[in-house]
Structure 1
Amino acid sequence: MATPNYGYEKRQKELAKKKKKEEKAREKAARKLSPSSEGLAPGDPETDVTSLERDPPTVPELPTKDG
């Protein structure tokens, strides 16, 4: 009886994992390039990167001991 080739099996798993990771990265890049109709509008300040560059988010002041 032939012995299992564990090295081959491991390599196939690694290739499948790499392929899945690359596909996920491609899908993420495609989503980033084309704004979706779901959720907030592209011009919305919460999602618009250019508006964040012009108007950085304000950080509330922390209360001091004096009040």
Structure 2
Amino acid sequence: MATPNYGYEKRQRELAKKKKKEEKLKAKAAGKHHSESDAPEGPGEDNTDASDAAPAAGEGSTAAD
């Protein structure tokens, strides 16, 4: 019976870990880059929400009068 090659198995596990880590870093970098592109849109969206909130407040004042 052949003996198990533990060195080979260990190397394969190390390569799998390395590959998984690299994929995680790529995904993280892609997510970070995606967030940066969303950041400029965020304040624009906030301004839109603020504009929507102002007429709602004006309508509330009209209803109270």
Q: TM-score range by the shorter chain?
A: 0.5 to 0.7
Q: Secondary structure at the match of 1:35?
A: helix
Aligned partner of 1:12 in structure 2 is: 12
Aligned partner of 1:23 in structure 2 is: 23
Counterpart Cα distance in 2 of 1:42 and 1:19: 30
Aligned alpha-carbon RMSD (Å) = 2.2
- The structure with the greater share of residues assigned to helix is 2
Moved over 4 A (4+): none
Q: Secondary structure at the match of 2:39?
A: coil
Gaps of 5+ in 1: 46-67
| The structure with more radius of gyration | 2
Counterpart Cα distance in 1 of 2:10 and 2:27: 26
Aligned pairs, number: 41
Task: Give the aligned residue type for 1:42.
Answer: A
- Percent sequence identity is 68
Gaps of 5+ in 2: 44-65
User: Which has the bigger relative contact order, CA under 8 A and spacing at least 6?
Assistant: 1
Counterpart Cα distance in 2 of 1:3 and 1:35: 51
